Amino acid sequence: MERTHPFERESRIIFLFWLESLPLEEQYSIWLSKAHQRVLPMPSSPIPRTAPFAEEEIEILNRVVGSASVTQRAWLAGFINGLDAASQPVSTSRTAEPLTILFASESGNCERLAADMAKTARKQGFKPTVIDMADVDVASLATVRRLAVIAATWGEGDPPARAVSAYADLMSEKAPRLDNLEFGVLALGDTAYAEFCAIGKAIDERLAALGGKRVVDRIDCDLDFAQPASRWIDQALKVFAPPTREPRGTVIEVDFTQHAAPAPLEMAEAEVIEHINLNSSRSEKETIHLELAFDGKAPAYQPGDSLDLFAKNDPAYVDALLQAAGLSFNDGLRIDLTDNRDVTTLSLRTIEAYAAATGHQQIKSLLASGEARGWIVGRQLIDLIETFQVPLSAEQLREIARPLAPRAYSIASSRREVGDEAHLLVSAVRYQSHGRARKGVASNYVAECLKKGSRVRVKLRPNRHFALPVQDRDIIMVGPGTGVAPFRAFLQERRATGANGRSWLFFGDRRFTHDFLYQLEWQEALKDAALTRMDVAFSRDAPRKLYVQHRIWQHRRDLVDWLEDGAYFYVCGDAKAMAKDVRNTLANAYADVKGLAPEVAEQAVRTLERERRYLQDVY
């Protein structure tokens, strides 16, 4: 009988063991070459003279390998690999270890880190479950054994908007005991704010108070979080791994899950093709409509996304800072500070760094007394250096000033209408504090430094949690001031796609005659039915200030009817007061219109949030 397989029985087993360990593409290649009995071109002496064999052994190997078929060569490779594998102890099969990764994210950073952690965990034999804190049932945490929390702090010590309800439940008496829980917390924040990483710290303490065992120490990350977060994830996975875990051997993991982290987005350069102040000359405000054109295609943004804009510092401010530090002669430092360093933000960490670099006793006393937290309010880095002057080196000043981060602005356009452009709406921030005129870095870079023909660097920041619903759904949009930017994009998109859902816009600003942003566009949208209804509130046009939440209350019956019919409710703008006032007003509207007790009305709003029909993009 003709032999159809060039291997002995024992060798076949070893070969198959090796073959199954290969990626599918290589398995298929070997199978295909055998199926067609195709011999690949092979040199007559494929074994080089430099191989670690004696000369006569190389000649023997060349005689065997040089004339071998593809199948025979595969067998030889498999045979050798199989021998090596057979000499190693084979681990017994085991169940993947469950790991819950809970994230609370506003800008998307914590969500991306959670996806990264899940991907790495899978490769190490875990069975990770990634949960948005907006979706978590706090009572379910009682069944969790291993928990990694990645949480951001937003603004002045607040949880991310989508996580507010779950965070409140965790901090309340309703939270369950967690005596069987092992946990670790990774906290993200911004040292520009006094309550740096407050939410991560609070969650860390609360989990421990509920009986959880902290097995991974919390770290608090600033804006440059990438490297410390990566180290924390690696350490956490080592700690969460059971001590009796057997090595898995060499396995190539392929991750097809929905939580895979997206590829990093690239920075793009754009040209300013339009730069218009939308306020009148008599307004106290300056709000710039900025149109950007890209070399080639625009970033693939969707309505609701933002652009990170990479600004530069005010040259006059940098000169004053260098003068105060005694470094005005250093042109290289001037360029670096203008382009790359945050030279305005003053935080407790900045003061600590200044004290460490200079040894200034008054600064140390300020920190020791606890008065530094109050002293920094309303002040900037230049105030610190002018008030506590000591000679500084260029390197010391660089170290005190952290890297200059980009500023995110909601995109105010739809690609379906503007093509390869992106429009932004930027209000220049200017105020007085401690006898000095202050300016927002990015907003005044746009207002004062950019003009038609200028070039600017931007980077797309997707926001899938602030996206339009299907076309036949109604939408309610609350966007005072520059908060109206994404809703301009929404209406452009719905007009271009022929959406048949209704749309209702609440807009507010200071004065009707001076601050009615995009007034003509809203009028056109009402005419062509892209916008079904619009209500406005101008706070300075009446003796008593009128805001968007007052209009919401005024039209609460219609509003609740829309929501009962399935409308989506969007809020964009100020997080400190407006967003909270709007939410409270909506809960009160439900209580009044439906005759509900306050706690039941609050649950009605929470239901909208859980259904992803109450969506916020606040700052």
pLDDT of 17 above 80: no
**Residue 289 neighbours by CB under 8 Å, 6+ apart:** 274, 275, 276, 277, 278, 412, 423, 424, 425, 518
Looking at the structure, tell me whether residues 23 and 163 fall in a common domain.
Answer: no
**CB 439, CB 338: distance < 8 Å:** no
Distance CA 488, CA 505 (A): 10
Distance CA 567, CA 401 (A): 46
DSSP for 562-593 reads: HHHTT-EEEEEE-TTTHHHHHHHHHHHHHHHH
Looking at the structure, tell me whether residues 418 and 519 fall in a common domain.
Answer: no
- Residues 487-502: pLDDT tens digits? 999 999 999 999 999 9
574 band by pLDDT with thresholds 50, 70 and 90: very high
Q: Which residues of 561-573 are buried (b: 16+ CB within 10 A; e: fewer)?
A: ebbeeebbbbbbb
Whose tokens are 């006094």? That residue is 194
pLDDT of 69 above 80: no
Does 248 map to a domain? no
Looking at the structure, tell me whether residues 431 and 329 fall in a common domain.
Answer: no
Looking at the structure, tell me whether residues 61 and 23 fall in a common domain.
Answer: yes
Say which DSSP state 449 is in: I
Residue 374 confidence (pLDDT): 93
Q: How far is CA 129 from the centre of its chain?
A: 19
What token pair was written down for 402? 């952290």
Residue 468 confidence (pLDDT): 97
DSSP for 248-312 reads: --S-------TTPPPPPPPEEEEEEEEEEE-S-TT-S--EEEEEEEESSSPP---TT-EEEEE--
SS3 letters across 520-544? HHHHHHHHCCCCCEEEEEECCCCCC
Residue 617 confidence (pLDDT): 94
For the segment 560-565, the average pLDDT, to the nearest whole number, is 98
Query: Which residue did the predictor score with more confidence, 105 or 4?
Result: 105
Q: Which residues of 446-470 are buried (b: 16+ CB within 10 A; e: fewer)?
A: bbeebeeebebebbbbbbebbbbbe
Helices (H) and strands (E) in the chain, counts: 24, 18
Residue 606 confidence (pLDDT): 93
List strands edge to edge, sheet with 182-188: 126-132, 97-104, 146-152, 182-188, 213-221
**CB 144, CB 128: distance < 8 Å:** no
Tell me the C-alpha to C-alpha distance, in Å, between residue 309 and each of 60, 226, 411, 563.
66, 19, 11, 35
Residue 55 confidence (pLDDT): 64
**CB 317, CB 311: distance < 8 Å:** no
- Residues 194-232: pLDDT tens digits? 889 999 999 999 999 999 999 999 999 998 899 999 999
**CB 5, CB 13: distance < 8 Å:** no
Closest to 475 measured CA to CA, from 463, 464, 489, 461: 489
Residue 47 confidence (pLDDT): 72
Distance CA 472, CA 475 (A): 10
Does 548 map to a domain? yes
**CB 18, CB 82: distance < 8 Å:** yes
Q: Please state the pTM of the whole predicted model.
A: 0.79
Residue 53 confidence (pLDDT): 65
Distance CA 584, CA 594 (A): 15
Q: Which of 445, 461, 477 is the last residue of a domain?
A: 461
- Domain extent, residue 550, equals 466-618
**CB 615, CB 568: distance < 8 Å:** yes
Looking at the structure, tell me whether residues 292 and 325 fall in a common domain.
Answer: no
Count how many residues are written for the chain: 619
Say which DSSP state 90 is in: P
In the three-class reduction of DSSP (H, G, I as helix; E, B as strand; rest coil), residue 509 is classed as: strand
Looking at the structure, tell me whether residues 102 and 195 fall in a common domain.
Answer: yes
Q: Which of 38, 61, 86 is the last residue of a domain?
A: 86
Looking at the structure, tell me whether residues 379 and 413 fall in a common domain.
Answer: no
Which stretch of 29-33, 123-127, 291-295 has the lowest confidence by average pLDDT? 29-33
Tell me the C-alpha to C-alpha distance, in Å, between residue 573 and each of 214, 465, 482, 550, 581.
37, 15, 7, 16, 12
Does 262 map to a domain? no
Does 246 map to a domain? no
**Residue 137 neighbours by CB under 8 Å, 6+ apart:** none
Could you tell me which residues are beta bridge partners of residue 537? 508
- Residues 334-361: pLDDT tens digits? 999 999 999 999 999 999 999 999 999 9
Residue 86 confidence (pLDDT): 54
H-run or E-run covering 362: helix 361-369
Number of domains in the chain: 5
Helical ranges in 149-225 per DSSP H: 164-171, 198-209
**Residue 440 neighbours by CB under 8 Å, 6+ apart:** 428, 429, 430
Looking at the structure, tell me whether residues 292 and 430 fall in a common domain.
Answer: yes
Residue 162 confidence (pLDDT): 87
Residue 242 confidence (pLDDT): 82
Distance CA 442, CA 427 (A): 10
452 band by pLDDT with thresholds 50, 70 and 90: very high
Could you tell me which residues are beta bridge partners of residue 407? 309
- CATH number for 434: 2.40.30.10
What token pair was written down for 416? 């379906």
Looking at the structure, tell me whether residues 492 and 513 fall in a common domain.
Answer: yes
H-run or E-run covering 118: helix 109-123
Residue 7 confidence (pLDDT): 41
Residue 65 confidence (pLDDT): 72
Amino acid (one-letter) located at 358: T
Residues 445, 446, 452: CA angle, nearest 5 degrees: 120
Does 249 map to a domain? no
- CATH number for 554: 3.40.50.80
Distance CA 46, CA 39 (A): 14
Looking at the structure, tell me whether residues 119 and 157 fall in a common domain.
Answer: yes
Residue 185 confidence (pLDDT): 98
Q: Within 13 Å and on the Cβ side, how many CA atoms surround 40? A: 12
Q: Which of 204, 221, 240 is the last residue of a domain?
A: 240
72 band by pLDDT with thresholds 50, 70 and 90: confident
- Residues 400-432: pLDDT tens digits? 999 999 999 999 999 999 999 999 999 999 999
- Residues 86-103: pLDDT tens digits? 555 544 445 688 999 999
Tell me the C-alpha to C-alpha distance, in Å, between residue 141 and each of 42, 90, 167, 412, 595.
61, 36, 13, 40, 34
- Residues 524-534: pLDDT tens digits? 999 999 999 99
pLDDT of 5 above 80: no
Residue 139 confidence (pLDDT): 95
Residue 45 confidence (pLDDT): 64
The alpha carbon dihedral of 378, 382, 388, 394 has a sign of positive
Looking at the structure, tell me whether residues 51 and 192 fall in a common domain.
Answer: no
Distance CA 126, CA 236 (A): 12
Say which DSSP state 403 is in: B
User: Rounded to 5 degrees, what are φ and ψ at 56?
Assistant: -70, -30
22 band by pLDDT with thresholds 50, 70 and 90: low
- Residues 30-49: pLDDT tens digits? 544 444 444 344 555 667 66
Q: Long-range contacts of range 250-255, CB-CB < 8 Å, 24 or more positions apart?
A: 250/21, 251/21, 252/23, 253/122, 253/123, 255/119, 255/122, 255/123
64 band by pLDDT with thresholds 50, 70 and 90: confident
| Mean residue pLDDT across the chain | 88
**CB 147, CB 182: distance < 8 Å:** yes
- Residues 315-327: pLDDT tens digits? 999 999 999 999 9
Looking at the structure, tell me whether residues 82 and 226 fall in a common domain.
Answer: no
pLDDT of 116 above 70: yes
Does 346 map to a domain? yes
